[in-house]
A and B are shown apart, each in its own frame.
Chain A
Amino acid sequence: KAGVTQTPRYLIKTRGQQVTLSCSPISGHRSVSWYQQTPGQGLQFLFEYFSETQRNKGNFPGRFSGRQFSNSRSEMNVSTLELGDSALYLCASSLRTGNGEQYFGPGTRLTVT
């Protein structure tokens, strides 16, 4: 089975711009979660989607949003980028929501200049 794929792998944006990151889960997985990883804050949960519905949301400003499509693919969007948004954004998929094992993709490295 193919693993979780994320596109693009690397991205450079300018402050004030917006960005959309994409995640394709493992085939058959219906739950997708997003995490932000920075040296200072570590790994922080952004949101979780299951069957196109947002199940949980972390403590991030409204500039961070996401959605999930009927084929379980997910996108996250960050508007009005700030320097502090520079991070590795990781997507994880799971068969079900809740206690399921989450399998991570390689991440998208976003640099905001």
Chain B
Amino acid sequence: AQKVTQAQTEISVVEKEDVTLDCVYETRDTTYYLFWYKQPPSGELVFLIRRNSFDEQNEISGRYSWNFQKSTSSFNFTITASQVVDSAVYFCALTRGNTGKLIFGQGTTLQVKP
């Protein structure tokens, strides 16, 4: 069975701090895809990144970076120099290679205080 675990329910930081959101996944598939989504208070899920199981290269996009480690089944997300606008619920998700069914973690609520 596939499963995504985001152990951190809530994180609170002060602006400009770095913060890492953890994501651990379980799957028996060799081909799978991992995602991160952001859900601001407005409710709409915003796509951040997709990573396939064959690409373990870390990725950086501005203040965002992702660390994918198959050895530990983790796909962690770091925000550098956090800002108040980063406050949101962040979801990690997993899907098999042949299906559009996203399996989401429970989400991590990030609060960035000024």
Contact = CB atoms under 8 A, between A and B. Distances in A.
Do these two chains really belong together in a complex?
A: yes
A72 B55 CA distance: 31
Contact of A101 (B50, B97, B101): B50
- Size category of the A interface is 20 to 34
A104 interface: yes
A43 B106 CA distance: 8
B19 interface: no
Given A43-B91, A104-B44, A99 B97 contact: yes
Interface residues of B, number: 24
A66 interface: no
A92 B97 contact: no
B97 A98 contact: yes
Interface of A: 31, 33, 35, 42-45, 48, 50, 55-56, 58, 88, 90, 92, 94, 97-107, 109
Interface of B: 33, 35, 37, 42-47, 50, 52, 91, 95, 97-107
Given A43-B104, A88-B43, 15 more contacts: A33-B100, A35-B102, A45-B103, A48-B101, A50-B100, A56-B99, A58-B101, A92-B45, A92-B102, A94-B100, A99-B52, A101-B35, A102-B100, A104-B37, A107-B43
